[in-house]
Structure 1
Amino acid sequence: MTNRTPDKYLETGVLATVLALTLGLATAPGHAAQDTAAPQAMTSTPPASDTLSAKQQAIPLIAAFMATSDMPKLTAVLNQGLDAGLTVSEAKEILMQLYAYVGFPKSLNALGELMKVVEARKQRGVQDAPGREPSRAIPTGEALLAAGTANQTKISGAPVKGPVFDFAPVINQYLQAHLFGDIFERDNLDWQSRELATLGALAATPGVEAQLRSHMRASMRVGLSAAQLRQLTQILAERGDEQAAKRAGAALTQALAAASGR
């Protein structure tokens, strides 16, 4: 039996669509100035590197194939990620988070595929590291809203405001309390991994280029480097979808131009 050392480590189409608008349509006083600043360090993520680890390289592919419901390719990259040290808990967390961006049905189908992959690996004698559950209790009520708002502000670079949220204020409360609260407060998956997954899913989804650009900037705020994001586009080109890679590359170019003030 092969043993591996454990590594460290949303239900309507409307909600999924609006969740993806969080950063793409949101504006705030001083937001442009925030984009020209150096990426903010996150206590929940490691420092920036020039390359993605083998485990990190699998994450955007997992997300992209989940978004396109390509189950054979999803199965292959789930195996790749687990072989590279992705824990079962981390893989589940990636697939659960992405319901916010691609919908519950795809999330549920992908979780079912992961379950089959893990069982098949067990039958082959591969014992995957289970990983861990969140190390702290998720707050509730006003404390949850406060935590989610703080997380949203860090990732967005400024308090999130804009016409969509003036038109439907409750959607931002859902975002703050649920996506950035309930989900981002779960520390069994770091923020860099969460952004890599979001980038993969958005790159594979036509028509959400504005949100993809925003998440490129968010990825740098949580500590991913420009070199790592270029590598992500290369991985999508080589093993994903050419159009997804082109969308990711264009988003990165525009995000870097915004960050440099051009």
Structure 2
Amino acid sequence: MNTTLSNRQQAIVPIAAFAASGHMPGLKMALHDGLGSGLTVNEIKEILVQLYAYAGFPRSLNALGAFQQVLGEREAKGIRDEPGKEASPVPAGTTSLERGTKVQTTLAGAPVKGGLMDFAPAIDEFLKAHLFGDIFGRDNLDWQSREIATVSALASMDGVESQLRAHCRISRNVGLTAKQMQDLAAVLRAKVAESTGKKVDVILEEEDNRQP
């Protein structure tokens, strides 16, 4: 089992962070680096599409537009980037809600219910059916990569500490080690902003202190 983030996984961090914050110059540089680190075109597209669920359609669409420009520039220079895998067709006989409930339960480590989910049942259904069923249920990006992207994006945004904390825990549920999460924070500090990486560091330290 890998105990540190691979070059490919490290490359996801600034892509997601800059896409979520809308920092286009940083994003374009990170996209070039990501392709050079082994991320495929479809993997990067999937990261940027997924981020709309956290940062909104405007950020996602702008990031995809920047990626399209980067690919055009690289193609003009004769650089051929690996397309990568397309998502498989949705399995027959299951609904988005059924798939998403199973995925969410696996990621969270237990069924998610009560609290806000009872207060606003619509958001519960949207989270299960769309975010976890339609997006996380796609198989052209593994769950560890999705969580690296999600944590990196949330760390670059203000006022989402609760969600950032939840996804730091989910990251451990999908097999990312404590050292890999520390690596993620270090990449944020080095390539995005010291304060962005510090958000993750603080949560990791608090979670370590909670352990018996």
State the TM bucket, normalised to the shorter chain.
over 0.9
Using the alignment, how far apart are the partners of 1:72 and 1:183 within structure 2? 27
Deviations 1:177-227 (A, max 9, x none): 101001111100000000000011111112111211111110011011110
Q: Which one-letter code corresponds to 2:198 in the other structure? A: K
Corresponding residue of 1:86: 39
Q: Which one-letter code corresponds to 1:153 in the other structure? A: T
Mapped contact 1:203–1:247 kept (Cα < 8 A): yes
Paired residues for 1:138-217 under 5 Å: 138-139=90-91, 143-217=95-169
Corresponding residue of 2:63: 110
Corresponding residue of 1:12: none
Corresponding residue of 1:55: 8
Mapped contact 1:214–1:255 kept (Cα < 8 A): no
Corresponding residue of 2:195: 243
Mapped contact 1:213–1:254 kept (Cα < 8 A): no
Deviations 1:18-47 (A, max 9, x none): xxxxxxxxxxxxxxxxxxxxxxxxxxxxxx
Post-superposition offset of 1:146: 1.2
Q: Which one-letter code corresponds to 2:25 in the other structure? A: P
Q: TM-score, normalised by structure 2?
A: 0.96
Q: Higher relative contact order by CA 8 Å / sep ≥ 6: 1 or 2?
A: 1
Aligned alpha-carbon RMSD (Å): 1.4
Note if 1:125 corresponds to 2:65: no
Stretches of structure 1 that go unaligned for 5 or more consecutive residues are: 1-47
Using the alignment, how far apart are the partners of 1:255 and 1:183 within structure 2? 27
Query: Runs in 1 of length 4+ with deviation above 4 angstroms?
Result: 139-142
Note if 1:220 corresponds to 2:172: yes
Using the alignment, how far apart are the partners of 2:112 and 2:163 within structure 1? 14
Mapped contact 1:95–1:110 kept (Cα < 8 A): yes
